[in-house]
């Protein structure tokens, strides 16, 4: 365990061996040195972080336990509400807006002793796979600043990769935690839908959205899940079960586990270097005692089409609330309808407009059955196919992203090319299943590759066992 | 669904979504949205008769709680973030009448 992990920091702070304020200053110094180049943050909350760190140290001095994330710097994706602190979704629509409440996950981090260092950049309203759709400019990949960090949680992935904070929170509607984690060489987890509260996560696709952590290693990701997860009475889709103890199982190994490689995600459209790393990961799991087989999940191939009807449909409803009345931007006009049109036209960027229009179209009279209705039925097929696969194997593995980090501008002019970045990740959102990305080697140019581990609903324990085994196989 | 999306349809959708498009945007968005819908022909070809739609991954129903007063948002704090307010309420431009 390196001294920079969240677990090591919290252990040392709780034991009185390190002060939270010193830990914070080390991270602020790193942010100051490299943030101008990376642009991971929309806002660095230096003063609030210093106050929070000092409060943690005072708790320790009084003999109290600040919690399992004592003094750990954490970055928050800027679509998580923070009371009194601007929360923009990287949109002009919410520029300057300060929420009147904290997201449940933010409250839980604070209660565990974490120190929030800032709000991270994202594709506007979490719609994108590169952070190029941020209204405030893109984030750069710390491994190669001529390349994107992925998205939409690109700021959170870059913050962890650059050492700005050992843990960051993101949100994942179609891969927005896992894909940037893969492109930035960090761990990213999308828990089972309903495992983590969505209260205070600004909604994109409500049946798909899930909050989860990005971290430098598997153990820190497990720790963060345990802190933020579990039932929240404030979210009616929150599952009643407590979040399982993941860290107790990280060293269980994979002896006797059954691992499937998703056959549909091995060939077409997957870069050869990425495919080679997935094969290497499968071999490592076999060497560790798992049985590994290729397994077909046919509906995976329809996932992209279903997703790009379902997610925009939900987005078009969720984003109807931005009308210049209650919060955020208002562009004045002589009457209410013109005010709303002017506000939405000026406040939203192109990608958000595309998705709102696509969703409005898919839901509109005459097209509902052909598009949205059909997509929901495909969702059932996807679930059935996964259930069939999970009757034969405990977990599935695949690439997280078909390619490693791409260059700025490479896909931004062609929405469909950008959407194809999500082909491996979206199916877990449509099914509601947990999935995570684990860094696994690099491509020929030295860019990080992520391997995705997927599990059935509530299967976080086997998923983390496999992720931990993959991490160990590289050590 | 067999005919390609038209600019007239996109203009109608933009109006429904309360978005204004320039002529250039209308052309560009129509092309881009048509490309996404073209990709969806793969699900058009599927036989989905008898398949139930899945609107939501969690089948929780009737989530109930005791009807007890809890914490509520502070009205002043909420209104302080609104573009315009008057007498403790959100203020909007005219909805009816001459201006509307």
Please provide the DSSP assignment of A132-187 as one string. TT-TT----BTTBTTB---SSTHHHHHHHHTTS-SEEEEEESSSTTHHHHHHHTSE
User: Residue A212: what pLDDT?
Assistant: 98
User: Which of A9-23, A325-339, B65-79 comes out lowest in average pLDDT?
Assistant: B65-79
A206 is catalytic: no
Does the residue A87 lie in any domain? yes
User: Residue B60: what pLDDT?
Assistant: 72
B99 contacts in chain A (CB < 8 Å): 334-335
Does the residue A11 lie in any domain? yes
Q: How many domains does chain B have?
A: 1
| Arithmetic mean of pLDDT, A78-101 | 96
The string of DSSP letters for A263-278 reads GGGSSTTS-HHHHHHH
A333 reaches B (C-beta below 8 A): yes
Beta-carbon pairs below 8 A across chains A and B: 167
Q: What's the pTM?
A: 0.97
Mean pLDDT of chain B: 89
User: Residue B63: what pLDDT?
Assistant: 76
Does the residue B16 lie in any domain? yes
Does the residue B92 lie in any domain? no
A370 reaches B (C-beta below 8 A): yes
Whether A193 contacts A210, CB under 8 Å: yes
For B49-95, what is each residue's pLDDT tens digit? 999 998 888 777 777 878 898 889 999 999 999 999 999 999 999 98
Does the residue B30 lie in any domain? yes
User: Residue B99: what pLDDT?
Assistant: 57
In three-state secondary structure terms, A325 is coil
Whether A132 contacts A405, CB under 8 Å: no
Question: Is the pLDDT at B1 greater than 50, yes or no?
Answer: no
Between positions 292 and 311 of A, the ones with CB within 8 A of B are 301-302, 304-306, 308-309
Task: Give CB contacts under 8 A, 24+ apart, made by A200-203.
Answer: A200/A80, A200/A81, A200/A99, A200/A101, A200/A102, A200/A103, A200/A104, A200/A105, A200/A106, A201/A79, A201/A80, A201/A81, A201/A103, A201/A105, A201/A171, A202/A79, A202/A80, A202/A81, A202/A87, A202/A89, A202/A94, A202/A125, A203/A318
Q: Does residue B83 or residue B99 have the better pLDDT? A: B83
State the catalytic residue, choosing from A77, A153, A398, A421.
Answer: A77
Angstroms from A121 CA to nearest CA on chain B: 22
The CA-based angle B4-B9-B13, given to 5 degrees, is 130
Does the residue B12 lie in any domain? yes
Whether A28 contacts A49, CB under 8 Å: yes
A358 reaches B (C-beta below 8 A): yes
| C-alpha distances out from residue B38 to A364, B43, B83, Å | 18, 10, 40
Between positions 41 and 70 of B, the ones with CB within 8 A of A are 42-44, 46, 48, 51-58, 60, 63, 65
Best to test chain A binding among B2, B10, B18 (most A CBs inside 10 Å): B18
Does the residue A32 lie in any domain? yes
| Arithmetic mean of pLDDT, A189-194 | 97
For A363-414, what is each residue's pLDDT tens digit? 998 888 888 999 999 999 999 999 999 999 999 999 999 999 999 999 988 8
DSSP A1: -
Question: Is the pLDDT at B100 greater than 60, yes or no?
Answer: no
Task: Give CB contacts under 8 A, 24+ apart, made by A142-146.
Answer: A142/A34, A142/A38, A142/A184, A143/A184, A143/A185, A143/A405, A143/A446, A143/A447, A143/A448, A144/A405, A144/A447, A145/A37, A145/A38, A146/A407, A146/A408
Does the residue A429 lie in any domain? no
Query: Are B32 and A383 an interchain contact pair (Cβ–Cβ within 8 Å)?
Result: no
Which residues fall within 8 angstroms of residue B28, CB to CB, at 6 or more apart?
none
For A225-246, what is each residue's pLDDT tens digit? 999 999 999 999 999 988 999 9
Does the residue B2 lie in any domain? no
DSSP A93: G
**Residue A266 preceded by cis peptide, ω within 30:** no
Query: Are A377 and B53 an interchain contact pair (Cβ–Cβ within 8 Å)?
Result: yes
Query: Are B14 and A357 an interchain contact pair (Cβ–Cβ within 8 Å)?
Result: yes
Nearest to A193 among B55, B57, B81 (CB): B57
Of B53, B15, B85, B39, which Cα lies nearest the Cα of A361? B15
Does the residue B64 lie in any domain? no
Question: Is the pLDDT at A448 greater than 80, yes or no?
Answer: yes
| Arithmetic mean of pLDDT, A348-366 | 95
B90 reaches A (C-beta below 8 A): yes
Tokens read off for A158:
């870059």
Question: Which residues form the domain of A213?
Answer: 6-249
State the catalytic residue, choosing from A91, A130, A153, A176.
Answer: A176
ipTM of the complex: 0.93
| Arithmetic mean of pLDDT, B18-25 | 98
A193 contacts in chain B (CB < 8 Å): 57-58
Q: How many domains does chain A have?
A: 1
Angstroms from A334 CA to nearest CA on chain B: 6
B10 contacts in chain A (CB < 8 Å): 357, 361
A414 contacts in chain B (CB < 8 Å): 32, 35
Query: Are A380 and B55 an interchain contact pair (Cβ–Cβ within 8 Å)?
Result: no
| C-alpha distances out from residue B53 to A79, A380, B41, Å | 29, 6, 18
For A287-306, what is each residue's pLDDT tens digit? 999 999 999 999 888 999 99
Q: How far apart are the first and last CA of chain B?
A: 36
Query: Are B57 and A339 an interchain contact pair (Cβ–Cβ within 8 Å)?
Result: no
- A125-138 CB burial, b ≥16 within 10 A, e <16: bbbbbbbbbbbbeb
Best to test chain A binding among B54, B63, B85, B88 (most A CBs inside 10 Å): B54
A152 is catalytic: yes
B82 contacts in chain A (CB < 8 Å): 325-327
Question: Which residue do the tokens 């994942």 mark?
Answer: A172
User: Residue A369: what pLDDT?
Assistant: 86
CA distance A174 to A138: 20
The 3-state secondary structure of A230-247, one letter per residue: CCCCCCCCCCCCCCCCCH
Question: Which residues form the domain of B13?
Answer: 7-44
Question: Which residue do the tokens 């059932």 mark?
Answer: A380
User: Which of A134-143, A411-420, B77-86 comes out lowest in average pLDDT?
Assistant: A411-420
Of A317, A100, A89, A339, which Cα lies nearest the Cα of B83? A339
CA distance A352 to A378: 24
Question: Is the pLDDT at A21 greater than 60, yes or no?
Answer: yes
Does the residue A308 lie in any domain? no
CATH number at residue B15: 1.10.20
Does the residue A70 lie in any domain? yes
Of A113, A81, A96, which Cα lies nearest the Cα of A347? A96
User: Residue A112: what pLDDT?
Assistant: 98
| Arithmetic mean of pLDDT, A436-458 | 98
Query: Are B82 and A344 an interchain contact pair (Cβ–Cβ within 8 Å)?
Result: no
For A149-170, what is each residue's pLDDT tens digit? 999 999 999 999 999 999 999 9
A373 reaches B (C-beta below 8 A): yes
Does the residue A185 lie in any domain? yes
Shortest CA distance from B98: residue in chain A: A335
Does the residue A461 lie in any domain? no
pLDDT > 90 fraction of chain A, expressed in percent and rounded: 92
Q: What are phi and psi of A323, to 5 degrees?
A: -130, 15
Does the residue B53 lie in any domain? no
User: Residue B70: what pLDDT?
Assistant: 85
A338 contacts in chain B (CB < 8 Å): 93
Query: Are B29 and A357 an interchain contact pair (Cβ–Cβ within 8 Å)?
Result: yes
B36 reaches A (C-beta below 8 A): yes
CATH number at residue A217: 3.90.1300.10
User: Residue B47: what pLDDT?
Assistant: 87
User: Which of A35-39, A171-175, A455-459, B50-54 comes out lowest in average pLDDT?
Assistant: B50-54
State the catalytic residue, choosing from A130, A152, A153, A421.
Answer: A152
A77 is catalytic: yes
In three-state secondary structure terms, B90 is strand
Does the residue B78 lie in any domain? no
């Amino acid at each position: 365990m390196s001294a920079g992990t969240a677990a090591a920091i919290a252990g040392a702070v709780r034991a009185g061996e390190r002060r939270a304020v010193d830990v914070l200053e080390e991270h602020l110094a790193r942010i100051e040195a490299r943030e101008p180049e990376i642009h991971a943050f929309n806002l660095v909350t230096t003063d609030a972080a210093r106050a929070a760190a000092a409060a943690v140290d005072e708790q320790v001095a009084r003999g109290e336990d600040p919690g399992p994330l004592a003094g750990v710097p954490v970055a928050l994706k800027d679509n998580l509400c923070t009371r009194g602190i601007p929360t923009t979704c990287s949109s002009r629509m919410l520029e300057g807006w300060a929420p009147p409440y904290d997201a449940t996950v933010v409250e839980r981090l604070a209660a565990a002793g974490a120190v929030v260092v800032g709000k991270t950049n994202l594709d506007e309203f979490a719609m994108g796979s590169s952070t190029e759709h941020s209204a405030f400019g893109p984030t750069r990949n710390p491994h190669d600043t001529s390349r994107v960090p992925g998205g939409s949680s690109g700021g959170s992935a870059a913050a962890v990769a650059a050492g700005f904070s050992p843990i960051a929170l993101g949100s994942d509607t179609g891969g927005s935690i896992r894909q940037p984690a893969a492109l930035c060489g960090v761990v990213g987890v999308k828990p089972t839908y309903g495992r983590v509260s969505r209260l205070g996560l600004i909604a994109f696709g409500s049946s798909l959205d899930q909050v989860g952590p990005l971290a430098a290693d598997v153990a820190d990701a497990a720790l963060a899940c345990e802190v933020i997860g579990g039932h929240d009475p404030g979210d009616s889709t929150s599952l009643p079960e407590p979040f399982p103890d993941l860290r107790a199982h990280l060293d269980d190994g994979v002896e006797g586990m059954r691992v499937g490689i998703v056959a549909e995600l091995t060939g077409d459209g997957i870069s050869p270097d990425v495919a080679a790393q997935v094969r290497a990961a499968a071999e490592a799991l076999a060497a560790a005692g798992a049985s590994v087989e290729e397994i077909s999940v046919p509906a995976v191939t329809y996932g992209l089409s279903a997703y790009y009807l379902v997610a925009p449909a939900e987005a078009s409803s969720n984003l109807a609330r931005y009308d210049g009345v209650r919060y955020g931007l208002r562009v004045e006009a002589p009457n209410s309808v013109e005010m709303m049109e002017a506000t939405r036209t000026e406040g939203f960027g192109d990608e958000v407009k595309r998705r709102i229009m696509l969703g409005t179209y898919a839901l509109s009279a005459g097209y509902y059955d052909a598009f949205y209705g059909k997509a929901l039925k495909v969702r059932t097929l996807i679930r059935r196919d996964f259930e069939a696969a999970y009757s034969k194997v405990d977990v599935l593995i695949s690439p997280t992203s078909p390619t490693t980090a791409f260059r700025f501008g490479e896909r931004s002019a062609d929405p469909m090319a950008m959407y194809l970045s999500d082909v491996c990740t979206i199916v877990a959102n449509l099914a509601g299943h947990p999935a995570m990305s684990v860094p696994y080697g690099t491509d020929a140019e030295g860019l990080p590759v992520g391997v995705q581990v997927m599990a059935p609903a509530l299967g976080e324990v086997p998923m983390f066992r496999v992720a931990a085994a993959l991490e160990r196989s590289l050590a | 669904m067999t005919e390609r999306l038209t600019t007239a349809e996109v203009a109608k959708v933009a109006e429904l979504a309360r978005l204004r498009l320039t002529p250039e945007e209308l052309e560009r968005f129509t092309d881009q949205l048509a490309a996404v819908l073209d990709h969806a022909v793969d699900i058009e070809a599927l036989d989905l008769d008898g398949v139930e739609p899945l609107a939501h991954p969690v089948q929780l129903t009737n989530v109930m709680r005791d009807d007890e007063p809890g914490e509520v948002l502070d009205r002043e704090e909420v209104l302080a973030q609104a573009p315009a307010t008057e007498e403790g309420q959100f203020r909007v431009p005219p909805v009816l009448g001459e201006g509307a």
